[in-house]
């Protein structure tokens, strides 16, 4: 699948990424190669292949989702000078 230089430039503009003409040509060629390779993989017949692994069989055991006190909470709270009703006040970010 061929990716055009114009598609690369349009995508770069959408994500506010500045690229040169040479970079656009390079990226178009590289992305086209990746997509061609992916298309080639899609055409491989895997119907006779055995399943290598089942994710559910290898899943890590889940722990119980229980609320627990944070052991570092007193140290964190002590680092704040401005507190009110068990809340920690911070300066505005915006």
**20 vs 65, residue with greater confidence:** 20
Per-residue pLDDT of 29-81, as tens digits, reads 999 999 999 999 999 998 888 877 666 666 777 888 889 999 998 898 888 88
pTM of the model: 0.50
The Cα 17–Cα 23 span in angstroms is 11
Q: Does domain 5-42 have CATH number 1.10.20?
A: yes
Phi-psi region of 86 (alpha: psi -120 to 50; beta: other; left: phi over 0): left
């Amino acid at each position: 699948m061929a990716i055009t230089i114009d598609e690369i430039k349009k995508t770069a503009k959408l994500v506010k990424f500045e690229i040169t003409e040479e970079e656009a040509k390079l990226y178009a060629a590289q992305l086209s190669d990746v997509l061609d390779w992916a298309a080639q993989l899609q055409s491989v017949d895997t119907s006779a292949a055995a399943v290598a692994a089942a994710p559910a069989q290898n899943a890590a055991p889940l722990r119980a989702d229980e609320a627990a006190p944070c052991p570092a909470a007193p140290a964190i709270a002590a680092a704040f000078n401005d507190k009110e009703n068990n809340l920690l006040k911070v300066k505005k970010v915006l």
